[in-house]
Amino acid sequence: MASLYLAIGTATNRLQVLEVGLVNYLWPSLTLAFAVPILGRKARATLIPGCLLGFGGVLLASAQSGESWEAFVGNLGTNWSPYMLAFVAAVCWALYSNLTRRWAGEAESGAVPLFLLASGLALAGLRLLLAERTQWTTQSVIELAYMAVFPSIIGYTLWDTAMRRGNMILVASLSYLTPLLSIIIGSVYLGVGTGWYLWVGCLLVIAGSFTCKLSVEETP
């Protein structure tokens, strides 16, 4: 959570926020890929092309929606940290999803409340280190309340339960549509015009996740 919010907060513009979000949505593919060494799932050879499809989609979408390759490399060189932080968040989430199944698959309840508290304290500490001006409005309070209740408390709790007790391969596979929904909602809410690079990249991420799903068996 700390890596993801830092990635979004350090993005230079709203278009880069969408790109950073798409980098974070590599986690469905990574979750399925990590299930092979961590949970002993069997995988087909198509797992590697599936992962490459996802990474290729992120690279394409991050190319500043149609600018030249030279411009993209220049932008990446001057502001690469949001992409790296989003990728770290994707890796951490994929690892957590597998490790919670391995270590707490039989537990009656998860540790999501404790993890959310720890994340909140970490973000509060980081906030004190950043020279940023805070503006409270009715809209920002509503948005903050929504983020706290739905994606954080409800979303993470349900996901944790699904990873520990449900069919994690099926659940992770169904998540491959989240990048598309994220791009659609984000572009509308932020008022950002998206180029074809971003949409094609999003479809490649979805195709990569779907290929990974077909490549990993549901049982060890």
pTM for the structure as a whole: 0.87
- For the chain, domain boundaries: 2-104+167-215
Neighbours of 87 (CB within 10 A): 20
pLDDT tens string, the chain, 220 residues long: the values are 889 999 998 888 888 888 888 889 899 889 999 999 999 999 999 999 999 998 888 877 766 554 555 555 565 667 789 999 999 999 999 999 999 999 998 888 888 889 999 999 998 898 888 777 888 999 999 999 999 999 888 999 999 999 998 888 888 877 877 888 888 899 899 998 877 888 888 899 889 888 998 999 876 5
Concatenate the DSSP letters of all residues of 14-83 into one string. HHHHHHHHHHHTTHHHHHHHHHHHHH---B-TTHHHHHHHHHHHHHHHTTGGG--HHHHHHHHHHS-HHH
**From the CA atom positions of the chain, what is the Rg in Å?**
18
